[in-house]
Structure 1
Amino acid sequence: MTKTNETCELLILETSDIHGNVFPINYGNNHETNSGFAKIATLIKEETKNRENILLIDNGDVIQGTPLTYHYAKFLSDKKNPMISILNHLEYDAAVMGNHEFNYGMELLRASVEECNFPWLSANIVNEATNEPAFGTPYFIKEFPNGLRVAVLGVTTHYIPNWENPSHIKGLTFVDTYETLKKWVQYLKENENYDLLVVSYHGGFERDLTTGEPTESLTSENQGYQICKEIEGIDVLLTGHQHRTIATTLHDIAIVQPSFNGQALGKVVLQFKFLNGKWQVINKATELVEVTDDTGVQEDVLALAAEFEEKTQNWLDQPIGEIKGDMKIVDAFNVRLKDHSLIEFINKVQMDAAGVDISNTALFHNGSPGLPERVTMRDIVSNYIYPNTLKVIRISGQDIKDALEKCATYFTLNDKKEITVNPSFMDPKPQHYNYDMWEGIEYVLNISNPVGARVEKLLRNGEPLNLTAQYDVVMNNYRAGGGGDFEMFKDKPVIKEIQTDMTEILADYFLKRKTVEASCNHNWKVIS
């Protein structure tokens, strides 16, 4: 029996946004990185050594994100999911649904959930028909041998319908995260007996944690600050989604967010004293345990994915075509200032697949190397890193102009009146994928002009674009749904959906033609 004034300690470890990274490599070049589940497993082993009370939680976006998981989903999904095998092997207590869990479709997701030895938590993702949680349970309570009872409640950003392919989330409702948490925290207070409440939220913070100033447009995608400020009774908030490194407290709530791709482990240590017949928290400490050059790999974790990795590497090295000319990227920033052969190529492929003559795409990340003379699948996935599909939506000329004005907010001028990236696209999370470049129109963005008046020229076939006319435009499914706050695209008529992943479409384009000629018609530029 626990005695008054006895003490104990609880260790909470969190992974989040692992994004399918098992091996510590960059798939673009196979160079070693300080990331991945095999190294995170080493940190987990070191941190849990000689500990009695341990809670291990994955906070979402675990089954998608690398060529390994893509190749598994496309070609080997009849086998057990290697990411789930690793979670089971490491004896996770629970996982929370992330937005990218849905990327490979509901059939694969449900099969993956069935393989788990632990519950998936997401109180605010419910079945449309029954209004009941769609995956497992909203929460669970873990009781330790000394009687310490910890409740863990899981929620997910409800913004998923703005990004995801509708067929992947059919029959689901995504309820407001904040409102759901308020309801379930109150339910737990009234109906359960526990000593600590942990909320694992696949979402982040909409305000600066120190000043409270907004750090993004208040779309409700991230509600962590409001949750901490307004919902009483939460002791620990595990976060993710934004790929940030956070270890702090806010309104006496311990908060961690452990970066992404398995670069760090979120750690919360709580000390308790048994007082008045209950374990009570007397201290909270937060920390991020980072993967370093000295962090070894756990061979047993690598072994669980070895078969899939070998087949993935063989697939990546398949030659698929050649390029006549230059599609390599030297400077990602310059690619976004004026038309580039790689961007023109991707837009041309999209237009070819969709049968339309206006398209937009983004350069998704600054590490994009472009395409070499001899192209393999590895080169494709190094540049096109998301499992996007395509949609053709019917929009007005005014919508196109509004979208270009939105894109122009990616830039600002520094003290020397030089064009630079707007800090809001860099912090708290890089959002280079929210700047599009267009083909099928001609335009100039002048960053010296005020925001909202930067489209200085906008032509179609050499004539001013008719702002009242309707145009069919192809873009990725994320953007077509309004993702990235492109509100002008939301709820527009969908003329065509192309359900093939863009990586496949790009590869097929090469396979059919064998040789592709690099071209650049210089139809747009950014000036100051």
Structure 2
Amino acid sequence: MKKRQFLTVLAAPVMAFSLYQADSVQADTNFDAVNMSATELMIDQEIMQEKGNGKVHNNDEITRNEVKKMLERADEMDGLNPKDIFFSDSSNKGKGANPNEPITKVDMAKVFTLAMNDGEKPDVDLEVLNNFNDTDSIPAEAKPYVAYATLAGAFDISFEDEFNPTEPMSREEVAESFKPLVFDVIDILSTNDIHGNIEQDTEYEQGGMALVGGIIEDFRSVNEEGTVVVDGGDTMQGTLISNSFDGLSTIETLNDIGYDAGAIGNHEFDWGVDVLQDRLEDANYPILGANIFEEETGERPEWAEPYTMVEIDGYKLGIIGFATTETPETTLSTHVEGLEFPTPAPIAEELTAELKEQGADMVMVTSHLPGWHEETTDEIMGELADLAGAENGGLDALVGGHSHERVAGHINDIPVVEADEYTNAIGHIQFFVDRDSKEIYDSEVGMLETYSHLAGEDESVREIVEYYQGEVEEITSEVVSTTEGPITRDRMYGDLGVSQLGNMITDAMRERADTDIAFQNSGGIRNNISAGEITYGDVFEVLPFDNYNVTADMTGEQIKEILEGPAEDDSNFMQIQFSGMNVVYDPSQADGERVSSIELWDGTPVYTEGESNDETFSVVTNNFLSTGSGDGYYTFGEVEWDSDPDFQRELFADYLRDIRDRGETINPDDAFDDRLIEE
């Protein structure tokens, strides 16, 4: 099985706060608990006692007898036999251990589980233990206890790390394990940018909604009343198995899992508002858009619910949903005409107060607001960070989306998370809540991996997926061509330039439209193609959006503006794919002056020596870009476009079929040519 490689810092679902410069939650918390270690928190709760001279020794090993006393102080000895505290499957082959010996992790797992589970041996999925590299070193009779304790929050789920079952525990580690015993635990599990990927990625044995459902069910098996499941938007658009049914197949899987809320992503508008409304009605959970307003009335449309309230384990949790402010630029503009998407922060403040008036004990956001970790500082950036940074104590957690990044950390003492894309991970936020005051004393945030060996699948979700697979199998399985190696969307010069897929797609567009030049937005190319046979299903995943060719004549000056980028921002330079011309650029020049030469493939100059050709040139692009608002390429909006009935994925599939019919295979290296040259 192949495994994708990620930064270790984001691999575990519950991470040490120091990795993110993270603190305990500040909003609606006990402020005295902020920045406390777990040991200090347990001393504050009178579960642990200070050692001599009032000092706290976090790293001292802790004995079984001390753990017994802690359980008594926490009123967690009911159903527990004192002998349970002194057993040892690991060191003494079950014969018992000296009460003054340090307690090991495997023994703490049993103590914790019996205390949480009314003295009963748990019935729990053991596959969660496969997150650890040393699963085989955990005694078989102890595995149910370790699995339960891990899912319940006593131990971190550290992917591809070691559990070390016989390792003595420090005071701080025991204090961490006691938090679910002392406080109520609320597990917030989140997905985002599913983009119709309800099937498992067979190459990596990863993801798919059946596995997502299985992982969620594992958490519910230990915390049924305290588990909340939300989605951050862009749920439906992106795969043949979803798009063929306008997203209904995807919504049915989330319904079956029992999501509590979702957010409206920009691609929820790709089939128009009417289809979106149909899917909102099909969903058994509210899909929210608090910052969607009608320009004419200044009111939210009836279908844009701002928030919902859910009951969890005796608490009321308000959930607000937000769309990204980038929605008008990142979906077909005609589908959101008449709508506006203002900045969420002032709306969040207003709605949080409204929810608190309705009795909410805590308030969170699920959203399509993007975030990312800045490369050098690891600081969280983007709209997700902007909202968290603007908070003044009202919100308790934020879930994001849109950027397809792995984000986990605390901003302004608020836990924030965004879980990759395509069900490659699940976001996980934990609240530790005081049972009497209903204050959040602590929070942790991180990522759950979704490899197939880490959980069982939800059978009913798998049946839904299999039904829709049968509906589309004949279409997806057609072999349209063969490639000798992977064909990727990776850009030629790191963050800028053309790609193998971009070159091939724009070549196909230009040939079909018989124009001088073709342009394609890089963001519209959604997946790579693996080596070997290329199926129509692969083509669909590369070009899932229902975009089609449009043609017009453009001036040399306009063509240069497109290549320079849509705005005065270095990051926008040469972010577009093109065909039909050779372009020379100098990265050392100022913004807007980097392109030094543009020449058609027949030798006709378009731009040379600082001058544009006075002639016009025939251009084909897609209807998303032609509006002038797509990805901010406003220059495209200066001309009148003629529509062509050719969908991009269909003409690209035909392009590949022609290669197949000629008896040829694709060499991806040939896709890179001299159309873009760096001086």
- Output the TM-score relative to the length of structure 2: 0.62
Q: Which residue in the other structure is 1:261 paired with?
A: 422
Mark the runs of 5 or more structure 2 residues left unpaired by the alignment. 1-44, 46-181
**84, 99, 110: which one aligns with 2:277:** 110
CA deviation after TM superposition for structure 1 residue 491, in Å:
3.7
Structure 1 segment 34-53 matched on structure 2, within 5 A: 34-51=206-223, 52-53=225-226
The one-letter amino acid of 1:59's match is G
Kept after mapping to 1: 8 A contact 2:628/2:638: no
Higher alpha-carbon deviation: 59-68 or 153-162: 59-68
Kept after mapping to 2: 8 A contact 1:150/1:196: yes
Q: Which residue in the other structure is 1:497 paired with?
A: 643
Distance change in 2, residues 1:335/1:286 (3 Å)? closer
Q: Is the counterpart of residue 526 in structure 1 residue 662 in structure 2? A: no
Q: Which residue in the other structure is 1:285 paired with?
A: 444
Structure 1 segment 307-386 matched on structure 2, within 5 A: 307-319=467-479, 343=502, 345-354=504-513, 356-361=515-520, 368-369=528-529, 376-381=535-540, 383-386=542-545
**368, 373, 377: which one aligns with 1:202:** 368
**226, 230, 233: which one aligns with 1:60:** 233
Distance change in 2, residues 1:225/1:335 (3 Å)? closer
CA deviation after TM superposition for structure 1 residue 124, in Å:
1.2
Greater strand content: 1
**215, 237, 245: which one aligns with 2:406:** 245
Q: What is the CA deviation profile of residues 359-409 of structure 1, one whole-angstrom value per residue up to 9, with x for unaligned ones?
A: 12366669633897x864135335435443334466542232233233999
Kept after mapping to 1: 8 A contact 2:519/2:576: yes
Structure 1 segment 121-160 matched on structure 2, within 5 A: 121-130=288-297, 131-144=299-312, 146=314, 148-160=315-327
Kept after mapping to 1: 8 A contact 2:489/2:499: no
Kept after mapping to 2: 8 A contact 1:394/1:492: no
Q: Provide the rounded CA distance (Å) in 2 between the counterparts of 1:252 and 1:471.
A: 55
Distance change in 2, residues 1:521/1:290 (3 Å)? closer
Kept after mapping to 2: 8 A contact 1:119/1:137: yes
Distance change in 2, residues 1:526/1:44 (3 Å)? same
Structure 1 segment 296-311 matched on structure 2, within 5 A: 296-311=456-471
Q: Provide the rounded CA distance (Å) in 1 between the counterparts of 2:640 and 2:218.
A: 52
Q: Which residue in the other structure is 2:386 paired with?
A: 226
Q: Provide the rounded CA distance (Å) in 2 between the counterparts of 1:327 and 1:469.
A: 41
Kept after mapping to 1: 8 A contact 2:207/2:450: yes
Q: Which residue in the other structure is 1:438 paired with?
A: 578
Kept after mapping to 2: 8 A contact 1:267/1:287: yes
Kept after mapping to 2: 8 A contact 1:119/1:136: no
Distance change in 2, residues 1:125/1:471 (3 Å)? farther
CA deviation after TM superposition for structure 1 residue 114, in Å:
1.2
The one-letter amino acid of 1:237's match is L
Q: Which residue in the other structure is 2:205 paired with?
A: 33
CA deviation after TM superposition for structure 1 residue 56, in Å:
1.4
Distance change in 2, residues 1:438/1:331 (3 Å)? closer
Higher alpha-carbon deviation: 502-511 or 44-53: 502-511
Q: Provide the rounded CA distance (Å) in 2 between the counterparts of 1:208 and 1:442.
A: 34
Q: Provide the rounded CA distance (Å) in 1 between the counterparts of 2:595 and 2:517.
A: 17
**165, 189, 193: which one aligns with 2:359:** 193
Higher alpha-carbon deviation: 301-310 or 469-478: 469-478
CA deviation after TM superposition for structure 1 residue 505, in Å:
3.1
CA deviation after TM superposition for structure 1 residue 183, in Å:
3.9
Distance change in 2, residues 1:368/1:262 (3 Å)? closer
Distance change in 2, residues 1:382/1:12 (3 Å)? closer
CA deviation after TM superposition for structure 1 residue 50, in Å:
2.7
The one-letter amino acid of 2:358's match is E
Mark the runs of 5 or more structure 1 residues left unpaired by the alignment. 216-221, 411-421, 426-431
Determine helix, strand or coil for the equivalent of 1:42.
helix
The one-letter amino acid of 1:25's match is D
When the two structures are aligned, how many residues end up with a matched partner? 481
The one-letter amino acid of 1:231's match is E
Q: Which residue in the other structure is 1:416 paired with?
A: none
CA deviation after TM superposition for structure 1 residue 9, in Å:
2.7
Distance change in 2, residues 1:273/1:445 (3 Å)? same
Distance change in 2, residues 1:307/1:332 (3 Å)? closer
Q: Provide the rounded CA distance (Å) in 2 between the counterparts of 1:45 and 1:309.
A: 23
Q: Provide the rounded CA distance (Å) in 1 between the counterparts of 2:644 and 2:350.
A: 39
Q: Is the counterpart of residue 456 in structure 1 residue 596 in structure 2? A: yes
Q: Which residue in the other structure is 1:419 paired with?
A: none
The one-letter amino acid of 1:115's match is D
The one-letter amino acid of 2:227's match is I
Identity rate of aligned residues, in percent? Answer: 23
Q: What is the CA deviation profile of residues 271-295 of structure 1, one whole-angstrom value per residue up to 9, with x for unaligned ones?
A: 22255xx522111121211113413
Structure with larger Rg: 2
Q: Provide the rounded CA distance (Å) in 2 between the counterparts of 1:496 and 1:166.
A: 17
Kept after mapping to 1: 8 A contact 2:329/2:631: no
Higher relative contact order (CA 8 A, sep 6+): 1
Q: Provide the rounded CA distance (Å) in 2 between the counterparts of 1:456 and 1:335.
A: 18
Q: Is the counterpart of residue 15 in structure 1 residue 191 in structure 2? A: yes
Higher alpha-carbon deviation: 162-171 or 332-341: 332-341
Kept after mapping to 1: 8 A contact 2:476/2:537: yes
Distance change in 2, residues 1:33/1:197 (3 Å)? same
CA deviation after TM superposition for structure 1 residue 55, in Å:
1.7
Q: Which residue in the other structure is 1:429 paired with?
A: none
- Output the TM-score relative to the length of structure 1: 0.78
Determine helix, strand or coil for the equivalent of 1:25.
coil
RMSD: 4.0
CA deviation after TM superposition for structure 1 residue 41, in Å:
1.0
Distance change in 2, residues 1:468/1:370 (3 Å)? farther
